[in-house]
Amino acid sequence: MRFRFVEEQRGAFPVDRLCRVMNVSPRGLRAFRSRPASRRQHMDMVVLAHIKEQSRLSLGSYGRPRMTEELKEVGVDVGHRRVGRLL
């Protein structure tokens, strides 16, 4: 979370100052940049792509409960909390 904040704000403030304020090391920030996405992040991206597609097909009218049912019908094994978090 801290590294992501530093990445988002690095255009507005110097990186070394952000690292000091957020109490992270510049070396840790470099490691964060080169680290691949975790399995959960990867699966979230896949589910999010399905959610966006289903939302496009429903003209944006589906909420969390209906979207969860649509995804299950398509074959995506997902719960309503995850769909709510990603919506």
- Start-to-end Cα distance in the chain: 20
Instruction: State the pLDDT confidence band at 49, using cuts at 50, 70 and 90.
Output: very high
> Is residue 2 predicted with pLDDT exceeding 80?
yes
Average pLDDT, the chain: 89
> Is residue 40 predicted with pLDDT exceeding 80?
yes
Give CB contacts under 8 A, 24+ apart, made by 24-30: 28/3, 29/3
Distance CA 65, CA 69 (A): 7
